[in-house]
Amino acid sequence: MNFLRNLLASILGCLVAFGLLFGMFMIFLALVSSADDGVVVKKNSILEISFTEPIRDYLGKDETDPFAGFWDDEAGLDEIVHTIKVAGDDENIRGISLTTSFVQAGLAQVQEIRKALKDFKDTGKFIYAHSDYFTQKDYYLASVADEIYLNPVGGMDFKGLSTEVLYFKDLQEKTGVKMEVIRHGKYKSAVEPYLSNTMSPENREQIQELITSLWDEMLGEIGTSRGMSTDRLNVVADTLGGRTPEFAVASGLVDGNLYFDEYENLMKESIGIDQNDDLNYVSFQDYIPIASGTRFHTGKDKVAVIYAQGEIYYGEGSKEFIGQGLMSSALQKAAKNNRVKAIVLRIDSPGGSALVSDIIWREVELAKKEKPVVVSFGNVAASGGYYIGVGGDKIYAEPTTITGSIGVFGTIPNISELAGDIGINAEQVGTNKNSVDYSLFEPMSNSFRDVVQEGIEDTYNTFLERVAAGRNMSVEEVDALAQGRVWSGVDAKENGLVDELGSLEDAIAAAAEMAEMDTYGIRKYPKYKSDFERFMENFGGAKAKIGEALIQEEIGNEAYQILKEFKQLTKQKGIQAKMPFSLNIK
């Protein structure tokens, strides 16, 4: 009887829980529906843009999913660019108010958004920008505006780009926990922090040239918008000429110091309404679903855009990382789909697993036999990120894309010194000479190191061959550009690693032209699991996400990024084709 009672109670509990979930789902649908119905774009509306959440190239949302975006706190670059373009054609949108501070996006992403804003302004509409504090990336974005205003007691950062690399050699010696390093490439400095306490001349050289090229690109666009020469802007940066609101005005970086209410009055004057009237704001997030109903590319024939974003690991993949599962499936579907006439592979990745990179490279090669494949590089296309795209028929990069890093390495943790200090001794038994696997608790043997080094050399040579074949260069020519060195998009075009400088839209247009299509639609891959599916699959995942957010809030963003890097290090398996260092350019 107890068993039956417990069984019935369990069934009843499940039914009640399901009923509650279903009820919550229906309530949410009603709220979403009513929210959408309430968004009205009135005449003389101002589109209010404030990018407060992280920006990815692509979120892979299912537009039919009512829960799309409910748990995500990110924005998709594809959505952002499309929405700004729609606003440019919307007769009810008079202009844009840009109020972004501390934008969470890569430099190439910011550059692409800036281009979209410039196109908007070219339609004859205005863009005004205001901030309490401009970071350099914020200011680069805001500089496209007709007028820029800063809070009278606010601030801005305009001093040139810099970055920092942490070194751990002494820490390893003090703790007895070290990373055994096997590498190829004099510039492959991803592992340098484990081998030295100081930066090598080769690493300093490439970082200096990289950030200088990125800074020059930023200054060129800022100067064009603000009517200032690059030399003048560098003088402002060298003298910290924007360090106070007053200096920022005097230096020509901003047009005035206004509180937000004064800034709003200025916009009212611009559109010809009374100072006592309210501005008709439309938030960018509310306008995204409205804009999604507009299609600039239509037609039965399609260009498939396949997004590869994140580090490269062995596995299925997701919007956070690239795996061979989703990528191979997307490339195969696009290649076999008769409606798809051309493929664009959009890459934003610092690299990762060399094995997975080669698997994806092979799928690109197979797809290329069926239809044109054009590659578009985003923020980063380094090492494995470059590897997976080098087989494309044509490669586009943004001028600010971090590109190249043709080199490989392996890092293996070892705690033999720590184990000895605390009294741990590991003994191994095996049947054959090499049957005993590598042990964390024993020093790495020369024979094991030789085997790993052999794998590194083979992988590096294969990488060179892939690049040589894809770029119509000799292996020797590629090797001279390789050694793990990274380049800006501008330099990568000059040395032949990419074909053209341009945006994702430029790459799509090129793919359509190669397929001889005058009209075409866009089909995006891959489709990730919906938010609702992931929520129902894993309640624990939702809690983990909340926990990560709380940790980030408590320890700060910079410390949290370091923590994430250590976590990602534990996921690395096999030989890595990865960007030579973690760059936080600021």
Residues taking part in catalysis = 188, 383
User: Can you give 228-282 as a three-state secondary structure string?
Assistant: CCHHHHHHHHHCCCCCCHHHHHHCCCCCEECCHHHHHHHHHHHHCCCCCCCCCEE
Largest CA distance in the chain: 89
Count CA atoms closer than 13 A to 247's CA, side-chain side: 14
**83 burial type by CB count under 10 A (0-12 exposed, 13-18 middle, 19+ buried):** buried
Residue length of the chain:
586
Q: Which of 98, 412, 117 is nearest to 260 (CA)?
A: 98
- Measured from the Cβ of residue 412, the count of other Cβ atoms closer than 10 Å reads 16
- In 424-519, which ranges are E strands? 486-488, 500-501
- CA atoms of 93 and 96, how far apart (whole Å): 8
Q: Which amino acid is at 448?
A: F
User: Can you give 222-237 as a three-state secondary structure string?
Assistant: HHHHHCCCHHHHHHHH
Bridge-based pairing of strands 394-397 and 373-382 is parallel
Q: Which amino acid is at 227?
A: G
**4 burial type by CB count under 10 A (0-12 exposed, 13-18 middle, 19+ buried):** exposed
- CA atoms of 360 and 367, how far apart (whole Å): 11
